[in-house]
Structure 1
Amino acid sequence: MEIYFALYRSKAKCHLNADIVGSIVRTSIRNNKRDGLTGFLHTDQDHFLQYLEGPQDPLMHRLSVIQRDLKHYNFMILADGTIDERLFPDWDMGQIKFLQPQHQNSAIDTGWMRPNPDVDAVPLLSAFAAHALQGEHVTITAIS
């Protein structure tokens, strides 16, 4: 079975606090488990960065629901396509609250928050996957 993925960002309409983000994560865990989706949600400076992976139909449906959600605006797909295997197989919805760059040239920066970002998703996803695996070295190659 092909695994589809999408990485998007959006801007929250209100300030994100722990209660709001916790509620979103709990709802996502329930929905994603039901739909066979995995991924992560990262919030930073009232922006959302979310990566989802799984079967095409549930993924496309979830993205359409997310896009219509009134909690945010400026929804933008940063990357999408297919992958051979899941990057986050054990995360119905992982939450990455804060990620301290490990070195000066870390892929985790705030460039994805710019109004018209030009984001290379491969190093960004590699950094998040490494965090998900608690620092293990992870290599993700570009999907053509």
Structure 2
Amino acid sequence: MIHQLIYVSTALRVFSNTEIGEILESSRRYNSKSGITGMLLSHDGSFFQMLEGNEAAVSACYARIETDPRHKSPIVLVRKQTQQRVFPRWSMGHAKPSDMSEEHRDIVVSLSNFAANLSELDEAGARELNILAKNFVSSFGKLEAV
């Protein structure tokens, strides 16, 4: 079984492309050693990330992420077991809205808006956020398969 974890968090500041590249390089090294794959989206100070792999490895990775001082308020949106990976070839894919199609950009902007207002999220908002997370997985999984 593959363990999947999706979370959102808020960056403490806006990162440059160079800094995002350094985060990705470090993540890719760690994830390759740990058998983790996934995708990171960054937009307007929000992070949205999916990790997948062995449950112990994903949990250990997320524990490190929770204590990373570059962001705050990480919230797990989805944690589940599944039969297969969505991103089998990406030790850590990355995208930002300016690199995306309109469909993908709309998903990321919506997720970013939710991330900015997580403290005010009601039950209906939580359901909508869950749907967006599922759309993210489906949409970007198709992108990775190309």
Aligned to 1:66: 65
Amino acid at match of 1:101: E
Following the alignment from structure 2 to structure 1, what is the Cα–Cα distance between the partners of residues 103 and 58?
Answer: 31
Tell me the CA shift for residue 17 of structure 1. Answer: 1.3
Aligned to 1:133: 145
Q: Matched residue of 1:110: which SS?
A: helix
Identity of aligned residues (%): 25
Q: Would you say the 8 A contact 1:42–1:95 is kept in 2? A: yes
Aligned to 1:79: 78
Following the alignment from structure 2 to structure 1, what is the Cα–Cα distance between the partners of residues 95 and 24?
Answer: 11
Following the alignment from structure 2 to structure 1, what is the Cα–Cα distance between the partners of residues 140 and 76?
Answer: 17
Following the alignment from structure 2 to structure 1, what is the Cα–Cα distance between the partners of residues 14 and 103?
Answer: 27
Following the alignment from structure 2 to structure 1, what is the Cα–Cα distance between the partners of residues 70 and 53?
Answer: 24
Aligned to 2:110: 110
How do 1:1-144 and structure 2 match up within 5 A?
2-98=1-97, 99-102=100-103, 107-111=107-111, 112-113=114-115, 114-115=117-118, 116=121, 118=126, 119=129, 120=131, 121-134=133-146
What runs of 5+ residues in structure 1 fail to find an aligned partner?
Answer: 135-144
CA RMSD of aligned residues (A): 1.7
Following the alignment from structure 1 to structure 2, what is the Cα–Cα distance between the partners of residues 102 and 40?
Answer: 17
The alignment covers a number of residue pairs equal to 131
TM-score normalized by structure 1? 0.83
Tell me the CA shift for residue 96 of structure 1. Answer: 1.3
Following the alignment from structure 2 to structure 1, what is the Cα–Cα distance between the partners of residues 35 and 134?
Answer: 23
TM-score normalized by structure 2? 0.82
Q: Would you say the 8 A contact 1:40–1:91 is kept in 2? A: yes
Following the alignment from structure 2 to structure 1, what is the Cα–Cα distance between the partners of residues 46 and 19?
Answer: 13
Tell me the CA shift for residue 123 of structure 1. Answer: 1.5
Tell me the CA shift for residue 108 of structure 1. Answer: 4.4
Tell me the CA shift for residue 83 of structure 1. Answer: 0.8
Amino acid at match of 1:13: L
Q: Would you say the 8 A contact 2:89–2:144 is kept in 1? A: no
